[in-house]
Structures are given as C-alpha cells and as structure tokens.
C-alpha cells in the first residue's frame, strides 16, 4: 500500500461519510441567491422563510460534521484543530 492509499476502519469510513455530507448543489446555489437578495434588501417573506430553512439545514450538517471530526480525532488520538487543518476544514 502506498502512502497515498490509507486504509480506513469501518468507523472512520462512516465518520468521513458524515464529514463529507453537504446540501445538493442546487440548494447551495439557491441559498447563495437568497443571501444576495437579502443583502440587496429585496427578499420576500416566502424567500426569507426559505432562507431560514436552508440555513437550518446547513447548520445541522455543520454540527454533524464537527461532531464526526471530533469523534475521528478521538479515534486517531489526534487534536481536533490539527485534524480540521489536515482536512482543510475551517470551523466558523
């Protein structure tokens, strides 16, 4: 096995599935669209509701992602911040 090929345990694979979850591209594009409308102060009430709902979905995905990173760090006896850096993930 080369350095680039890393064998993952079943637990690590499951955590990486969670870490890599994201909204579908169409929903991310819509979220960005709604942010632009909000910033331009042209958001309707329905669009505001949609923006909040998408924001909540993103927040939930991020919370799950960071819980999974924390678990992965524990499995690897690694520091959370170091692992985020290795994965090129910036906690906001």
Determine the pLDDT at residue 1.
Answer: 45
Cα–Cα distance measured from residue 55 to residue 74, given in angstroms and rounded to the nearest whole number: 29
Determine the pLDDT at residue 2.
Answer: 47
- Does the pLDDT at position 33 exceed 60? yes
- Does the pLDDT at position 4 exceed 70? no
Determine the pLDDT at residue 40.
Answer: 98
| Nearest Cα residue to 87 out of 6, 29, 26, 23 | 6
Dihedral-angle region of residue 77 (phi above 0 means left; psi in -120 to 50 means alpha; beta otherwise): left
CA distances from 45 to 19, 71, 72 (A): 32, 39, 40
Determine the pLDDT at residue 65.
Answer: 95
Instruction: Give tens-digit pLDDT for 72-88.
Output: 999 999 999 999 999 99
User: Does the predicted model carry a pTM greater than 0.75?
Assistant: yes
What mean pLDDT do residues 4-24 have? Answer: 90
């Amino acid at each position: 096995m080369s350095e680039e090929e890393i064998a993952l345990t079943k637990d690590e694979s499951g955590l990486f599935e969670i870490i890599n979850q994201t909204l579908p591209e169409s929903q991310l594009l819509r979220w960005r669209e709604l942010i632009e409308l909000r910033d331009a102060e042209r958001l309707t009430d329905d669009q505001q509701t949609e923006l909040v709902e998408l924001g909540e979905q993103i927040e939930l995905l991020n919370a799950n992602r960071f819980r999974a990173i924390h678990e992965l760090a524990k499995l690897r006896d690694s520091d959370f911040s170091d692992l985020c850096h290795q994965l090129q993930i910036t906690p906001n």
